[in-house]
């Protein structure tokens, strides 16, 4: 990971290559032992799966995203990356939805044997990573690798990862990366970053590994005209972004408005379905379960994705801490935009807009922040509410 270069683009780091050479790049990565993952159209969505060549990419597709709405369709262009982020993020490959973290086997003679799985994760190459997703990977790097507790599985997957990024040339109605400073132009870390032109790709080299890949492709030096074409396309994407979120003093604003009436307003719409956290590229809540076979002689400890919107997630000895949808939504938003700064020195939001698109009722966190900013309550005294505590009621048939 230390191989990544700084943010400054050197004049000789821009190369132009024909689109057929991109197909060669994908096959070359596979020949080098990488599992190559990229965007594909499946089940009327653009998802991330293993790809074998340029033919697997969503050529000619564009997506339509609105709060609570997602559609993809072929619209007649010939580009391969003229769409935005879909329902999946790269998180699923670096922080899998389910992972076995321990095993226990019982032998009738010797008793229990406990072990930690030592399987080597696949060497992966991500193709088509957007600027906001690079920022999300950097956020999870801080969470899992740069604190006092390092996740060994995440580190193993991340250290062998090849990042082939793509600059956005169009924006969805739910994007707000310009507010979070994470796009639409890709910033390091990446190995290569492509801008798709009409007839070719302009590629920026971001690491020594990326440089070695480009050396094996047929390229020409990028001219000033190519650079200007790429900049115009990136600027087009930035100008298409209509959604904004004022991030100035956002941490203090939310921390000082924990009793704002807006939390009740959003709770009346929120379904607590967990969609926003499942599609988020940075959310990392998880739970650990023990799963045994029918004999009870073999047990696996599994880490699985969880969500702060699940009522049991905050269960403690005296009951559930966050019993209402109001408290769970507030926990999610204030952690994402406020207390994340205290933990990891950054925001947990990268402006990808997935939580807006995939919310069934179209809750928009930028609108919620704007509403609190418009009429801050500064935690003034509000009418008393019921304490958020769960009382366990035992069904009649279960009583002694």
Which residue range forms the structural domain that includes residue 272?
250-287+306-378
Q: How many domains does the chain have?
A: 2
pLDDT of residue 354: 98
> Interior CA angle at 55 toward 54 and 57, to 5°?
70
pLDDT > 70? residue 287: yes
Average pLDDT over residues 375-394: 48
Q: The whole model's pTM is what?
A: 0.90
Domain shared by 217 and 268, yes or no: no
Average pLDDT over residues 23-32: 96
Domain shared by 260 and 189, yes or no: no
Domain shared by 84 and 164, yes or no: yes
Q: Within 10 A of 397 (CB to CB), how many other CB atoms are there? A: 5
Domain shared by 198 and 151, yes or no: yes
Cβ atoms of residues 124 and 93 within 8 Å:
yes
Q: Is 36 exposed, middle or buried (0-12, 13-18, 19+ CB in 10 A)?
A: buried
Q: Is 181 within a domain?
A: yes
SS3 90: coil
User: Which letter does DSSP use for residue 98 in this model?
Assistant: E
Domain shared by 30 and 158, yes or no: yes
Domain shared by 147 and 226, yes or no: yes
Q: Is 136 within a domain?
A: yes
pLDDT > 90? residue 137: yes
Domain shared by 203 and 319, yes or no: no
Helices 131-145 and 152-159 sit at what angle, rounded to 10 degrees?
140
SS3 264: helix
Q: Within 10 A of 97 (CB to CB), how many other CB atoms are there? A: 11
Q: Is 26 within a domain?
A: yes
Q: Is 362 exposed, middle or buried (0-12, 13-18, 19+ CB in 10 A)?
A: middle
Contacts of 280 (CB under 8 A, 6+ apart): 89, 91, 354, 355
Label residue 266 left, alpha or beta by phi (over 0 means left) and psi (-120 to 50 means alpha). Answer: alpha
Q: Is 62 within a domain?
A: yes
Beta bridge partners of 301: 102, 290
Q: Determine the length of the chain.
A: 400
Q: Is 280 within a domain?
A: yes
- The pLDDT confidence band at residue 5, using thresholds 50, 70 and 90, is low
Average pLDDT over residues 356-384: 83
Q: Is 359 within a domain?
A: yes
Domain shared by 211 and 310, yes or no: no
pLDDT > 60? residue 384: no
Concatenated DSSP letters for 326-385? Answer: HHHHHHHHHIIIIIHHHHHSS-S-----HHHHT-TT---HHHHHHHHHHS--TT------
Q: Is 396 within a domain?
A: no
pLDDT > 50? residue 398: no
pLDDT of residue 378: 59
pLDDT > 70? residue 245: yes
Domain shared by 220 and 142, yes or no: yes
- The pLDDT confidence band at residue 379, using thresholds 50, 70 and 90, is low
pLDDT > 80? residue 392: no
- Bridge-based pairing of strands 200-205 and 192-196 is antiparallel
Domain shared by 187 and 265, yes or no: no
Domain shared by 204 and 84, yes or no: yes
- The pLDDT confidence band at residue 318, using thresholds 50, 70 and 90, is confident
- The more confidently predicted of residues 289 and 188 is 289
- The rounded Cα 130 to chain-centroid distance in angstroms is 10
Q: Which own/partner pairs from 326-333 qualify as long-range (CB within 8 Å, at least 24 positions apart)?
A: 326/263, 326/264, 326/266, 326/267, 327/263, 327/388, 328/270, 328/272, 329/263, 329/266, 329/267, 329/270, 329/272, 330/258, 330/263, 332/276, 332/277, 332/308, 333/254, 333/365, 333/368, 333/369
The first and second tokens of residue 119, run together, are: 């399987």
Domain shared by 138 and 40, yes or no: yes
Q: Is 105 within a domain?
A: no
Contacts of 346 (CB under 8 A, 6+ apart): 139, 142, 340
The whole-chain average pLDDT of the chain stands at 91
């Amino acid at each position: 990971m230390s191989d990544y270069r700084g943010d400054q683009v050197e004049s000789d780091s821009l190369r132009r290559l024909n689109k057929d050479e991109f197909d060669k790049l994908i096959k070359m990565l596979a020949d080098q032992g990488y599992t190559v993952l990229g965007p594909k159209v499946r089940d009327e969505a653009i998802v991330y799966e293993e790809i074998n060549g340029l033919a697997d990419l969503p050529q000619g597709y564009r997506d339509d995203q609105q709060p609570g709405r997602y559609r993809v369709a072929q619209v007649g262009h010939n580009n391969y990356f003229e769409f935005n982020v879909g329902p999946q993020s790269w998180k699923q490959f670096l922080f899998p939805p389910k992972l076995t973290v321990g095993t226990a086997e019982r032998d009738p003679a010797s008793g229990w044997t406990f072990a930690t799985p030592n399987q080597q994760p696949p060497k992966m190459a991500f193709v088509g990573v957007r600027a906001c997703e690079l920022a999300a990977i950097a956020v999870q790097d801080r969470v899992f690798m740069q604190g006092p507790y390092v996740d060994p599985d995440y580190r193993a997957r991340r250290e062998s990862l090849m990042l082939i990024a793509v600059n956005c040339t169009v924006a969805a109605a739910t994007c707000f990366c310009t507010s979070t400073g994470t796009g639409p132009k890709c910033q390091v870390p990446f190995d290569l970053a492509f801008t798709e032109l009409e007839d070719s790709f302009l590629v920026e080299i971001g690491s020594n590994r990326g440089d070695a890949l480009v050396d094996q492709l047929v390229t020409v030096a990028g001219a000033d005209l190519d650079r200007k074409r790429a900049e115009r396309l990136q600027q087009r994407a930035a100008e298409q972004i209509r959604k904004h979120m004022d991030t100035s003093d956002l941490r203090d604003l939310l921390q000082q408005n924990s009793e704002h009436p807006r939390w009740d307003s959003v709770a009346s719409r929120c379904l607590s379905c967990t969609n926003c956290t499942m599609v988020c590229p940075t959310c990392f809540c998880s739970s650990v379960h023990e799963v045994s076979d029918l004999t009870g002689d073999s047990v696996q400890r599994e880490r699985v994705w969880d969500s702060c919107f699940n009522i049991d997630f905050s269960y403690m000895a005296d009951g559930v801490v966050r019993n209402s949808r109001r408290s769970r939504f507030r926990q999610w938003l204030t952690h994402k935009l406020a207390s994340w700064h205290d933990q990891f020195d950054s925001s947990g939001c990268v402006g990808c807009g997935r939580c807006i698109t995939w919310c069934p009722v179209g809750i928009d966190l930028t609108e919620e922040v704007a509403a609190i900013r418009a009429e801050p309550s500064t935690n003034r005294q509000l009418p008393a509410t019921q304490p958020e505590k769960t009382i366990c009621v035992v069904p009649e048939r279960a009583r002694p």
